[in-house]
Amino acid sequence: MAETNSQLAAIQGKLGSKVIETLQPQGDDVLILDRSGLRESFRILKEDPGLDFAFLSDITAVDYWQKKEARFEVVYQILSLAKRRRLRIRVPVPENDPAVESLTPLWHGANFMEREVWDLFGIRFIDHPDLRRILLYDEFKGYPLRKDYPVNLVQPRVPERPVDGTFVDERSRNKLLRLKKSLGSKI
Amino acid sequence: MKAETKELPAEIMELQMGPSHPATHGTIKFNLKLDGEKVLECDVEVGFLHRGFDKSCEQATWTQVIPYTDRLNYASSLINNVGYALAVEKLIGAETPLRCQYIRVIVSELARIYDHLTCCGMASSELGAITAGFYMIEARELITRIIENLTGARLTVTYVRIGGLKHDLPHDFGESVARAFKTIRRLLDDCDRLLSRNRIFLDRLSNVGVISQETALSYCLTGPILRATGVDYDVRKAFPYLVYDQVDFEVPVGSRGDNYDRFLCRIREIEQSMKIVDQALANLPVGPVWIEDPRFVLPEKEKVYGSIEGLMHHFKIIMEGIHVPAGETYFAVEGGNGELGFYIVSDGGGRPYRIRVRPPCFIAMGAFHEMIKGYMVADIVPTFGMVNMIGGECDR
């Protein structure tokens, strides 16, 4: 335990005032960081030889709607392959401006993970090269993993794209017209 | 007559491969930009199998999430069960009895063998090596039968529980595993003779889909794809969980980071997994498979039907769910395709507040364009096969 505390203290020394709080739930090392200058903080964590958290494991977010002052929290799992240590970083993000700096300049793999967080939570990543929806389709309205998104909400149907000059089978079209005509009186 | 040299039109062609393509066993779409047959750009579209795993979990009790985890990577559903149960147990602060830990190791390794056999078998049959593919499917079938005998289901098993297991091993488990492994070893020998020095197979796999060590690390890759580049990162060795620090096994690593190294890594891991299962079965201790904590464990049926306390207790656990203390934690296990992590948040109630899965093959698909850039269209099939994208896990 003492060693772990010194580890967290070392990180706090390097990052200075960016660290809001350090926690150790269930023996994990957790750091709550300020979102200003986030990429620079991660650069220090990644490139400082004493810290060496060179591997990004995961990016996700949690919506603490009506539970915490800052509604969202973006959660990063990073680890040091050489020292076999994990570190979890939580970054509070307020509801009125849900945006954090993108980590794609540091890790290419952040691209897909940040797109997923944008897709499901609507948290923007500043300077992300390609912030599109990834699991859902472009016409999807809202962000489903937000707690105020109802679980049984039905999305409107996506209109079909108009296609010009495609082959139309006249016979089947006539058949369809006949069918419509015969049903017309009933419906 | 003098032959006229004609310039071929050097126009960049756009091709959409998928989402339903016979050679991509999984629903995924590649938007390709081609120069002739060379891939210039590849934009991967995922999400066709998205069914809201995270949102569904928030509606269910902690125990009801276990069947959902089966449907993530359905080729190794037992590993998903184990990973989820371990994450919740970490938040509870409970440690399962030794026998339960050994059985969890055994079933995880069986699932890993199943996963690798699926991946290698499918990939080789897509390249025309149908015989080797069928041999591997035959070996996989033997594992499926063991799993069926153990859990009652072939694919979506729901075997592991929070704080224990559905039930103990059947009495003939050891013998049936030994018998199956004997056949699997013979089948793998046959596959080795059919494939490892096969000219066509080598030409299609070696030096295709190459990714350097730095690129692999930058793309956050794990599992056989990362190990094929020479990084020996395996969660079982780096952050030992269960009893992996008490069994003797090696982590096979490659050197070139191409598809052939990925294939060999997987085949060697099958051998290591069989070694782990043999050791775990030999050292299997006797004892209970459940923790002794009435807050998390369903009472025995005799108590449920014989006493009012038992009945109330049963009712509370089923209707309200077990109460996991408020907090958040992350726990990772080594899945078939890499680090399978569970980040769980509890608000102290009977239902999860948030469950996030770190899906190894979703992240691997994020690096796919890098693996295929500059290669031929036909190389997409073996490269995609060796990533082993499982739609259920990739799209959740």
Q: What is the CATH number of the domain that holds B175?
A: 1.10.645.10
**A102 close to B (CB below 8 A):** no
Q: Is residue A19 part of a domain?
A: yes
Please answer whether residues B219 and B44 qualify as being in contact, where contact means their C-beta atoms are separated by less than 8 angstroms: no
Range of the domain at A59: 2-160
Q: How far is CA A40 from the centre of its chain?
A: 19
Residue for token pair 């809001």: A20
Q: Tell which of A74, A104, A116, A130 to mutate to test the B interface (max B CBs under 10 Å).
A: A116
Task: List the single residue in A with minimal CA-CA distance to B45.
Answer: A134
Share of chain B above pLDDT 90, in %: 32
Q: Tell which of A29, A31, A60, A149 to mutate to test the B interface (max B CBs under 10 Å).
A: A60
Q: Is residue B37 part of a domain?
A: no
CA A2 vs CA A7, A24, A27, B330: distances in Å: 9, 12, 12, 21
Mean pLDDT of all residues belonging to chain B: 88
Task: List the single residue in B with minimal CA-CA distance to A59.
Answer: B358
Confidence of residue B290 (pLDDT cuts 50, 70, 90): confident
What is the DSSP track for B247-263? S-------SS-SHHHHH
CA B124 vs CA A13, B23, B204, B278, B379: distances in Å: 53, 11, 10, 27, 13
Greatest Cα pair distance, chain B, in angstroms, is 102
Share of chain B above pLDDT 70, in %: 97
- SS3 sequence of A129-162: CCCCCCCCCCCCCCCCCCCCCCCCCCCCCCCCCC
Residue for token pair 């989820």: B84
Lookup: tokens for A44: 């220090």
Q: How far is CA B354 from the centre of its chain?
A: 22
Please answer whether residues B385 and B119 qualify as being in contact, where contact means their C-beta atoms are separated by less than 8 angstroms: yes
**B345 close to A (CB below 8 A):** yes
Q: Is residue B40 part of a domain?
A: no
Q: Is residue A167 part of a domain?
A: no
Confidence of residue B343 (pLDDT cuts 50, 70, 90): very high
Q: Is residue B252 part of a domain?
A: yes
Range of the domain at B87: 45-395
Q: Is residue A69 part of a domain?
A: yes
Do A28 and B329 lie within an 8 Å CB cutoff? yes
Q: Is residue A173 part of a domain?
A: no
Q: Is residue A121 part of a domain?
A: yes
- Which helix (H) or strand (E) segment is B69 a member of? helix B65-70
The single-letter code of the amino acid at B287 is G
Exposure of B282 in the CB half-sphere (CA atoms within 13 A): 10
How many residues are given for chain A?
Answer: 187
User: Rounded CA gap, A40 and A52, in Å?
Assistant: 14
In chain A, the number of structural domains is 1
Do A107 and B354 lie within an 8 Å CB cutoff? no
The answer to whether the Cα torsion of B313, B84, B148, B241 is positive or negative is: negative
- From chain B residues 364-383, the ones with a CB under 8 A of any chain A CB are 365-367, 370
Q: Is the pLDDT of residue A2 over 50?
A: no
Q: Is residue A25 part of a domain?
A: yes
Compute the average pLDDT of residues B201-209: 88
Q: Is residue B19 part of a domain?
A: no
**A80 close to B (CB below 8 A):** no
Q: Is the pLDDT of residue B89 over 70?
A: yes
CATH number for position A66: 3.30.460.80
Quote the pTM value: 0.87
The pLDDT, as a whole number, for residue B313 is: 87
- Termini Cα distance of chain A: 75
Q: Is the pLDDT of residue A1 over 50?
A: no
Q: Is residue A184 part of a domain?
A: no
User: Rounded CA gap, A30 and B262, in Å?
Assistant: 34
Nearest residue to B208 via CA among B12, B30, B25, B387: B387
Least confident of A22-26, B8-12, B250-254: B8-12
Confidence of residue A137 (pLDDT cuts 50, 70, 90): confident
Please answer whether residues B24 and B18 qualify as being in contact, where contact means their C-beta atoms are separated by less than 8 angstroms: yes
Please answer whether residues A52 and A82 qualify as being in contact, where contact means their C-beta atoms are separated by less than 8 angstroms: yes
Confidence of residue B297 (pLDDT cuts 50, 70, 90): confident
pLDDT tens, B91-102? Answer: 988 889 999 999
Q: Is residue B311 part of a domain?
A: yes
CB atoms within 10 A of CB A179: 10
B6 vs B200, more confident: B200
What is the DSSP track for B19-53? SS-TTSSSS-EEEEEEETTEEEEEEEE--TT---H
What is the side-by-side order of every strand in the sheet holding A30-33? Answer: A19-23, A30-33, A85-93, A72-80, A55-63
Compute the average pLDDT of residues B19-41: 84
In chain B, the number of structural domains is 1
B-chain residues within 8 Å CB-CB of A117? Answer: none
User: Rounded CA gap, A121 and A107, in Å?
Assistant: 21
Q: Is residue B69 part of a domain?
A: yes
Q: Is residue A178 part of a domain?
A: no
Which positions ≥6 away from B181 have C-beta within 8 Å?
B274, B277, B278
Nearest to B46 among A77, A86, A134 (CB): A134
pLDDT tens, A89-98? Answer: 999 999 888 9
User: Rounded CA gap, B185 and B25, in Å?
Assistant: 26
Cis preceding-peptide flag for B359 (omega within 30 of 0): no
Give the 3-state secondary structure of residue A100. strand
- From chain B residues 254-313, the ones with a CB under 8 A of any chain A CB are none
The answer to whether the Cα torsion of A149, A151, A152, A154 is positive or negative is: positive
The pLDDT, as a whole number, for residue B155 is: 87
pLDDT tens, B125-159? Answer: 888 888 888 999 999 999 999 999 999 888 889 89
